[in-house]
Chain A
Amino acid sequence: MSASEDIFKVENLTMAYGDYVVMRDLNFSVSKGEIFFIIGGSGCGKSTLLRHMIGLIKPASGTIYFRGENFSGAPQDKKTEMLRQFGVLYQGGALWSSMTLSENIMLPIREFTGITKKEAVDLADLKLALVGLNGFGSFYPSEISGGMCKRAGLARAIALDPQVLFFDEPSAGLDPVSSHRLDELIVQMRDSLGATVIVVSHELASIFDIADRAIFLDTSSKSQGPIGSPRQLLDCDDKNVRVFLNRGVDPRRRDNK
C-alpha cells in the first residue's frame, strides 16, 4: 500500500511514565482498512501505546499523525474533532453503569449529531442489533454478562460510524466461542463500515485468524520488534517473536532436538 493510504503514522515515539521509559523510538504506520495488531508480552506497553494513539497520554517524545495531520500535538479542539472519528472498545467494555445500554449508545449520538431522540433510539437499536444484542436496550450493564458488556461496548464504539476502531484486549475474559464471534464481528465491522481496526491483544488465535499485520513490542529491549503479517512474524529471525507466537517455545530449538 502506498504511503498516502496511511491512516496512522507513528514517528520516533517514546512512551514514558515520568522517568520510567516504557518503549522508545517506535516507528510504524497503519494503512486504511487494515486490521493491525499490537502484540507483545504482559507489561510491554501495548495498552499504553493504544492510549497514546487515542490521545489519553501525551508522548514523552515523537509524533503521532492521523490522516497526515499531527494528532499528538494538535490543539484540544482539533484533537476532539479527530477523536470523533475514533471508536474505542475498552477491556471491560467501560459502559456507563448508571445508564441502560441504549442510553450508553445514545449519549454520543445525541451529543454529536443533533438528531431527534426517536432517531437516536432507532440508531441505538440498530447498533445493538449489529452486535447481536437486539432487544437488550433497556438493560443496565450490571444486568448482563461480561461478554455481552463487551459487545455492548462495541455497539457504543461504532455509534458514530468511526473511521478507526480501537480494541483493547477484546478477547480477555471471554470463552473461545465468544472470542471467535467477537473476532468475526471485528472483521465484519471492518468490511461493512470500511473502518481501520487497531487491536491490542496477546490472544494468538485472534492474531492468526484476523490480523493483516502486527507489530511486536519487545519488553526486553524496550523497543519495537518486527512488523508484518502473522505468518511473516512466525518465520522471522527475532527469537523473542518466535517464542511469543509459539507460546513460550522456540520452534527452531525444538526442531533441532
Chain B
Amino acid sequence: MVWKKPKAGVEITATAHIAASGDGAAVLCFSGDWLLSERRSPFSKIERFFAGNGGISKLTFDTSSLAKYDSALISFLFRCYEICAQKNVKFDMDSLPAGPRSLLELAVAVPEAGKGKKGESGNIIGKLGSTAIDALDTFKAQATFVGLVTIALYEALRRRARYRVSDLLLIIQKSGPEALPIVALISFLVGLILGFVGVIQLAKYGSEIFVADLVGIAMVREMGAIMVGIVMSGRTGAAFAAEIGSMKVNEEISAFRTFGISPVEFLVLPRVLALILMFPLLTIFADLIGMLGGMAIGLGLSDISYEQYANRTYAALNLVQISTGIGKSVVFGLIVACIGCQRGLECENSSAGVGMATTSSVVQSITWIIVADAIFAVAFTIFDI
C-alpha cells in the first residue's frame, strides 16, 4: 500500500479496548483498520490498565471487529508481549489471527540481546576520565606511529624499505607541481595583505620603504612555511587520510598485512618522503610569490621604486632567515604526512569513519603545525637565530 500521513485532529478509528474478564484474564479487543495511516488508540491505555490491575494472569485477544492491519498492529502487539513478559502475564498467542501471530512469533523467537552497549559513565568525572584515557591512547598511538615511520625512513636510507618508486613519483607530482596554483594564490594574497598593512602603518612614520623588510622577513621566516603547511593539510593530508581510510574499509590494508608487507613502508613511507621533499620547494616558491604580492602593494601604494624595493629586500634577508623557514617546512611536511596517513590507518570500517578520519587529519595537522611553529619560535629566540 502507499502510505498516507494520518490527518491531525481526526478521531481515533482503530481502537483497542482492554477489560478484565473475571477469571484473572484480560481481553484486548481490536476494532477498525489498524494501519499506520489511521489514528490509533495509544499504548498508554494498556500500560495504565496493567498498572491498576495487579491480579491479571493472562491476556487474550478478540479480533472479531478487526478489519485491515499492517505493522501498526504488530508493533502494538509486540509491546503488549513485552509488558506481559515483564509482569509475568501469560500472552495468549493462539487467540490472534494467523497473520499477526506468525509475525509476532517471528519477532519473539530470538530473545533480546545487545543492550548495554553504551555503558559509559554518565557523570562528569566519568566522562572526564574517559576523555583523558582516550587522549592518552591517541598520544600513545601517535608516538608508536612516529616510531614506525622513523624505522621505515631508516630502512629507506639503507635501501631496504619495500615501496614502489612509481608510487613515490606519482605522489610527488600530486603533492608538488599540482599544488603550485593554490600555493601561489594563497601566498600572493598573504604577501598582499602583509604589504597593505605594512604600507599603511609605516606611512605614518614616513618609512614605507621598510615594508620590503616586513614582507620579506615575515614570508621567509614564518608565513611561507605556515601557509604551505595549512594549504597542504587541507589538500594533501586530507587526501592521504581519505585514500588510506578507504583502503582500510575495503580491507586492502589487511591484504598488505597478510602478505607480510608493512603498510607503513608501502603506503606511508612514499607519502612521507614526497612531502619531506616537496615542502621545502613549495615553501621557497611561496616565499617568492608572497614577496611579489608585497612588492605589488609596495610599488602601487607608495613612491618606492622597483630597485629600491628589491635592494631593501636583499639587504633584509640572509641565509639564516631563509634556512629557518625551509627547515621548519621539512618538519611541517613530516607532520602533515604522518597525521594524514595515521588517521587513515586508524579509520573506522565505515564511510562515516573515512569522513571523520579526513576531518581529524586536517584539524590535527593544522594544530600541530602551529604548536611546532611556536616551539621553533621559542627555540630560535633562545639560540639567538
Contacts and interface: CB of A to CB of B under 8 A. Distances in A.
B125 interface: no
A83 B366 CA distance: 46
A173 interface: no
Interface string B131-157: 000000000000000000000000000
A119 B72 CA distance: 9
Interface residues of B, number: 37
B99 interface: yes
A125 B112 CA distance: 10
B79 interface: yes
Contacts of A134: 107, 110-114
7 contacts: A81-B2, A125-B75, A125-B78, A126-B107, A130-B106, A138-B118, A142-B350
Given A113-B36, A115-B36, 16 more contacts: A98-B352, A98-B355, A113-B37, A122-B43, A129-B78, A129-B106, A129-B110, A133-B110, A133-B114, A134-B111, A134-B112, A135-B115, A139-B114, A139-B117, A185-B106, A191-B102
Nearest to B118: A138
Interface in A159-176: 160-161, 163
Contact of A192 (B3, B102, B108): B102
B70 interface: yes
Interface in B77-128: 78-79, 99, 102-103, 106-115, 117-118
A166 B1 CA distance: 16
Interface in B29-85: 36-37, 43, 70-72, 74-75, 78-79
Interface in A106-136: 112-115, 119, 122-123, 125-127, 129-130, 132-136
A55 B146 CA distance: 50
B348 interface: yes
A81 B3 CA distance: 9
A76 B108 CA distance: 39
B327 interface: no
Closest 7 CB pairs between A and B? A114-B5, A97-B350, A98-B352, A132-B110, A129-B107, A135-B112, A136-B114
B205 to A, nearest CB: 57
B353 A97 contact: yes
B207 interface: no
A87 interface: no
B350 A140 contact: yes
B78 A126 contact: yes
B6 interface: yes
Interface in A74-116: 81, 84-85, 97-98, 112-115
Given A97-B350, A115-B36, A130 B75 contact: no
A246 interface: no
A114 B118 CA distance: 29
B149 to A, nearest CB: 27
A126 B108 CA distance: 9
A122 B79 contact: yes
A224 to B, nearest CB: 31
A43 B271 CA distance: 37
Q: How large is the interface on A (under 10, 10 to 19, 20 to 34, 35 or more residues)?
A: 35 or more
A133 B108 CA distance: 10
B347 to A, nearest CB: 10
Interface of A: 81, 84-85, 97-98, 112-115, 119, 122-123, 125-127, 129-130, 132-136, 138-143, 160-161, 163, 185, 188, 191-194
Contacts of A115: 6, 36
Contacts of A188: 102, 106
A132 B78 contact: no
A60 to B, nearest CB: 29
Given A113-B36, A122-B78, A192 B103 contact: yes
A85 B2 contact: yes
B201 interface: no
B349 interface: yes
Nearest to A122: B75
Contacts of A81: 2
A129 B37 CA distance: 22
B351 interface: yes
A135 B348 contact: no
Given A130-B106, A138-B118, A141-B350, A161 B1 contact: yes
B351 to A, nearest CB: 5
Interface in B1-24: 1-3, 5-6
B353 A113 contact: no
A97 B352 contact: yes
